[in-house]
Every structure is written in C-alpha cells, then in structure tokens.
Chain A
Amino acid sequence: MESVRKWFQVITAMLVNGNWLFPFTKTIYQGPLKVICSPGLNCYSCPAATTYCPIGSLQNLFAGIRVTLDNGQYFLGAYVLGSIGVLGGAFGRLICGWACPFGFFQELLHKIPSKKYKIPQKMNYIKYFFLAVFVVILPLLIVDKFGFGTLWFCKYICPAGTLEAGIPMIMLQPELRANLGLVFYNKLTIMIFFIFWSVIASRPFCRTTCPLGAFYSLFSRFKVVRLHLNEENCTKCEACHNVCPMGVKFNESPDDLECISCLACMNKACNYDAISMEIAGIPLETIKEKKVSIPIT
C-alpha cells in the first residue's frame, strides 16, 4: 500500500505540475485548467503548475474584496472555499498524505540519513495562526490606498512558493534578479530552514505551518474517508505510535487533527486488525502488507 501511495503522490505532483513546456515558453501555464483547484499546496506561479493554489487564490480574493465590492462584484471566495470544503469533507488530511506535492517533497527529504528528532505537539497549533491571520485577517484588513490587500502568507512565508515559483522564475527570466530584495532573501531563508528541518524531522511544514493542512484538519471527525479504530482488537501495544510520520498516537486519538491517512499504522504496525479504513462509517477490508515484528512487553 505504501508503494501505491508513493505512486499516487508522484502522479498527482505530475498532474498539478504538468506544464513541461515551461523551459521553452519561459513563463507559466495560462490555459483553462487553471480554473481547477489543486488539492494540495502547489504555487500557481510555478511555471509548471496547471491548477490554482487554493491558499494563494483565497488570499487574492480576500485582498481584492473591497475593490470588487465597489465594482458590484461579489467575489467573496465562495468558489475556492467550496472547492476545498468539498475536498476536505470527502478526504480531509488524506490529501496531505496522498496528493500534496510539497508534503511529498518533505517525505523525500526525510529519507536522507541523519539523526531524527520529534516535533513538540504544541507546535501543531501554529498553523491555525497562519490560516487565521496570514491567510484571512491580514489580507482582508490591511490595504493600500487603492483598497488592495497583500497576500501575506505567499509573500512573506510560503516556502513552496519560493521553491516552485520564486527560484524557477528568476532562472527562467534572469532580468528579474534586479528586483530581488529583503523579502525574497527572507523567504529563501525560510525555505532553506524547512528543507533542513524536513531532513531531521518528519513533515515539519505540514505540522506547524501549512494553512491548507490546518483547514483540512477541521474535517478530521467528519470526513467520508477515514481510519477507524476497532477498540475490541486494540491491545494498546502502541506500535502505531512509532510509525506515524505526523506523531499521532492513533489508538489514543483516532480522529487526530494531524492524521494524514497515510496508512502506515494500519499496514506497517498493527498486527491485530485494530485499524481499518472506513468510508462514511462502512469499514473496508483491511489489505495487509508484510508486517514488521513488534515486541510485546
């Protein structure tokens, strides 16, 4: 199942970044597919991007809300919120585990051999601050003299934007290098920080900073596709604690906000059929891979 997930991640990353003509066109894809929402965090200023980033688009709509209202247009973010709400209601953070290119990138970085560290659970709540303040409040409230706000998260934080859009664009269009300033170097530092952090800790951006992951986590109790704990079978051996890339203690918290439904606990840890996949409350047959042996003390 892990190889299926890896292939799914690769295919999704290729689909949402399918414009491979960009080295020749030297700019971004501008076709009609960009009206489709990328399920994961994927900068739409990336030259290869073929879909729009919901977090970038939401900020853009909020930042321009005063101007569009003055023009009699009601662009309040309903289309974008509706898109990610439907995805969240169906899959929640399963999208983070299966369909987010930046999450996949962090997983690959974490495979680099090094000493590994845990991320304190309290840091998981920081991402809700970024969602509320940087994606919603600041773009809505702080505007220039023309009534336009700023895309605070994209401009000052997003390492995915730096990696997928900032760096490729200055490589494709060298004349842009004259415009590089403190903001860019600050973002570059943030990106490098997360790259190093991803090597030594599992998915640090997803767990501490990603506003899209924060939004999807709100559906953890009420999503269609989710993992189910069969308490009758659970021996509380805590094997599931050791394999979770998000630090979830599944048997203690089966609806955890951090669970990305990567199925590691189900396939790699649990020997007692205590964890299964369910769709709208109907459990699926558990497909088991070869299991690791777990010492029971």
Chain B
Amino acid sequence: MNKKNKIKKVPFIIISGFLILFLIGIALGEPSRVLDQAKQVCLSCIGIG
C-alpha cells in the first residue's frame, strides 16, 4: 500500500529536463522563428504548388 501511494519522481525529472530545453529554446530566440513560420501559409508544405 505504501509503495502504491509513493509519489513517482521520474515523470517530474523528465518534465524538468524538457522544461530546461524549452527555456533554452526561448533564450536562443526560437519562439520568434516559430511564430514567423506559423504566420505564413506554407503552400508547398500542404501540397499546393
């Protein structure tokens, strides 16, 4: 029963790792690049042209 109710730490370690990756991306200015891409209709990407 105790084992069942023990908080699992591994998911939080994994999330922390990806959170650091996310923050690194922000520090490198990647969100502006993502935003620029998402604002454009990439016709060739959707099979047109």
A73 and B4 contacting across the interface, CB-CB below 8 Å: no
Check A27/B41 contact, CB under 8 A, given A32-B35, A79-B34.
yes
Q: Which residues of B contact A155 (CB under 8 A)?
A: 44-47
A contact residues, total (Cβ < 8 Å): 61
Q: Which residues of B contact A183 (CB under 8 A)?
A: 47
- CB-contact partner of B30 in A30, A78, A88, A280, under 8 A: A78
Interface size class of B (residues with CB under 8 A): 35 or more
**DSSP majority for the B interface?**
helix
Per the bound structure, the CA–CA distance linking A224 and B12 in Å amounts to 8
A126 at interface by CB-CB < 8 Å:
no
A56 at interface by CB-CB < 8 Å:
yes
**DSSP majority for the A interface?**
helix
Listed from nearest, the 6 A-B pairs whose CB atoms lie closest are: A82-B22, A79-B25, A85-B18, A78-B25, A82-B21, A281-B8
Interface residues of A (CB under 8 A from B): 27-28, 30, 32, 34-35, 43-45, 51-52, 56-57, 60-61, 68, 73-86, 88-90, 150-151, 154-156, 161-162, 165-166, 169-170, 176, 179-181, 183-184, 186-188, 219, 222-224, 280-283
